[in-house]
Structure 1
Amino acid sequence: MASFPLSASTPRRYAIVGTGAIGGYYGAKLQRAGVEVHFLTRSDYEVIRQEGLTVESPEGNFRLGEVRAYRDVADMPPCDVVIVALKTTQNQVLGELLPSLLNSDGVVLVLQNGLGVEDEVAQWVGGDRVLGGLCFICSNKLGPGQIRHLDYGAIALGEYRPNYKPQGVTQRMRAIAHDFERAEIPMQFHEDLLLARWKKLVWNIPFNGLSVVLDAKTDRLITDSNSRQAVESLMAEVVAGARACGREIPGVFVEEMLTTTEKMPPYLTSMKLDFEAKRPLEIEAILGTPLRRGTAAGASLPQMALLYQQLTVLDRYNRA
């Protein structure tokens, strides 16, 4: 493993690739805490350079008047941690961006939904330089440089290796967590990143997918008896897919996801927001890859297959 700055007292330089609801929020929190952060902004460049980043949050609103923002990755300095917060539908650009952004001992932290996203990144930077992060957060991008944080905010970290062999909790996970905790971002550790990914899909597959198909926020999906039955059926299939792939999700975790959603403020999922804005949906990462891997491993996943087909059709006609 490459030498990575592990000491809590050693400053680490961060890059944000994807300054939206996730990257903008976490990057702004890190910078406010004194961490050096560089933002690749592309279409929002002019606004962010002139007006900075604004975060609305129940934990307190704040604005960063000066932000290290860049339109071109060639102008950015090499960084110790490159946070990928793009939609997975844009991952085709990462091969051009990541190699020049990374220090020789740097790592990529993938803050994306879905399964297999670390596999994509590893093909460009190597399997020993990738970490996965699962974001448990409700946040939206209101406009260029404007983020609205609604609730939650924790990140769960895990080390990646090819074939998702469990790596335990490493020192570089702890070093990165130290920076985030300085920014008052709750951090968790996962010894098994593949299990963590499947557990996140227990929520993401039913609520992201059904929010589009049924044109609903989370509160209606969880309170209406028919839609809740659909949610629970899909959750059971995610558990079955994970089991077929060698990962066991306890029933108590599924109940916790249902209870958490009941307490959540009415929320438009990221996939529903993308659908309304006629942007490509993250169908493959969130649903297609888990469906294919679970089916290949012997699981019967008819509800997931139907939802995948429905979303594919809706996405195609919506963007046409």
Structure 2
Amino acid sequence: MGASLGAVPNRRYAILGTGALGGFYGARLQQAGTEVHFLLRSDYEQVQQQGLVIESPEENFTLPQVYAYRRVEEMPRCDVVVVALKSTHNHLLPALLPRVLKEDGVVLVLQNGLGLEAEVAQIVGAERVMGGLCFICSNKVGPGHIRHLDYGAITLGEYAANYQVGGVTERMSQIAQDFTQASISIHLAADLLLARWRKLVWNIPFNGLSVVLNATTDALMADRYTYALAEQLMREVALGAKVQSRAIADNFIQEMLDDTVKMKPYRTSMKIDYDEGRPLEVEAIFGNPLRAAQAAGVQLPQIAMLYQQLKFLSDRTRAQSPEKE
């Protein structure tokens, strides 16, 4: 597990899901000299004609030419396959991953939620899976047009069967080197499961409340009632982590609250999906953590209420616009 990617001086990357995350990180990797191949759907024509456009406080740039594909069958096999699709599209992965992943390659899952690496491991094997958590404010504002607002760091961790602690491997260090060269801040986590729960401390309250209460992050933090509710939800996430033998300290929760107060006004990815009538990542971000806690005999009532509200809204959206599935 966690073997080296071999003596590959220039690793070849595939980006599955060229949206707010995949488009931004893939473009930065290519700009830094890495070979990157992008799988596109509705944006294919625009990107072929005008390239990938990135707006960022750090630097605005356009990649006039990218390796763009409509179908995975047209793509070369790659050393690192980045899964940046919404988790609502993970049913496509059994058809995508085996076609584009090299025999000694690794799948890097850049998605929100819990249990995603385990699903990918069933397709390609546990020893070929790594998880990544993106701490970034980024939106796709048009075809092939990404607007990066703030942050951008990635936490990397090796997946091991049943989320055993995988440690920091040579393979992680190699991939981190590629991202660092692209001016992306990388943190290497020895414990991927703990990193996933820590990310949920932010994702559960703010993705959920932004949809249910129709609010941006700044509005949620400015009101004392929703500030208190966000903190209570964070503490429930910490309880969920605890039943899986992972500890989240109180000062980490306070740090997340403080960082969100300082954050530029942000419409979360789930709020954008809801506003655009797209499926919501309710199961990965809310359902899987709830079920993990319940399997250990622990209830998370406030998260459960948010989950049930989001399921209602998501199901109603799907009934109204099934073509966006």
Q: By how many angstroms is 1:298 displaced?
A: 2.4
Q: By how many angstroms is 1:188 displaced?
A: 0.2
Give the letter for the 1:10 counterpart. P
Aligned to 2:204: 205
Gap regions ≥5 residues in structure 1:
none
Q: Partners of 1:318 and 1:229 in 2: how far apart?
A: 29
Q: Partners of 1:166 and 1:77 in 2: how far apart?
A: 32
Contact 2:2 2:170 in 1 (8 A): no
Note the 1:178-197 alignment, pairs <5 A: 178-197=177-196
Note the 1:1-320 alignment, pairs <5 A: 1=1, 4-7=4-7, 10-319=9-318, 320=320
Contact 1:48 1:145 in 2 (8 A): yes
Q: Partners of 1:121 and 1:143 in 2: how far apart?
A: 29
Contact 2:2 2:169 in 1 (8 A): no
Give the letter for the 2:170 counterpart. Q
Report the aligned-residue RMSD: 1.1
Q: Partners of 1:20 and 1:57 in 2: how far apart?
A: 15
Give the letter for the 2:291 counterpart. R
Q: By how many angstroms is 1:230 displaced?
A: 1.1
Q: By how many angstroms is 1:318 displaced?
A: 2.4
Q: Percent identity?
A: 61
Q: Partners of 1:69 and 1:75 in 2: how far apart?
A: 9
Q: Partners of 1:6 and 1:236 in 2: how far apart?
A: 42
Contact 1:2 1:105 in 2 (8 A): no
Secondary structure at the residue paired with 2:201? helix
Gap regions ≥5 residues in structure 2:
321-325
- TM-score, with normalisation over the residues of structure 1? 0.98
Paired residues, what number? 319
Q: Partners of 2:207 and 2:80 in 1: how far apart?
A: 29
Q: Partners of 1:4 and 1:168 in 2: how far apart?
A: 13
Q: By how many angstroms is 1:143 displaced?
A: 1.1
Q: Partners of 2:251 and 2:287 in 1: how far apart?
A: 26
- TM-score, with normalisation over the residues of structure 2? 0.96
More off after superposition, 294-303 vs 252-261: 294-303
Could you report, residue by residue, the CA deviation over 1:203-230 in whole angstroms, capped at 9, with x for unpaired residues? 0000000000000000011110111111
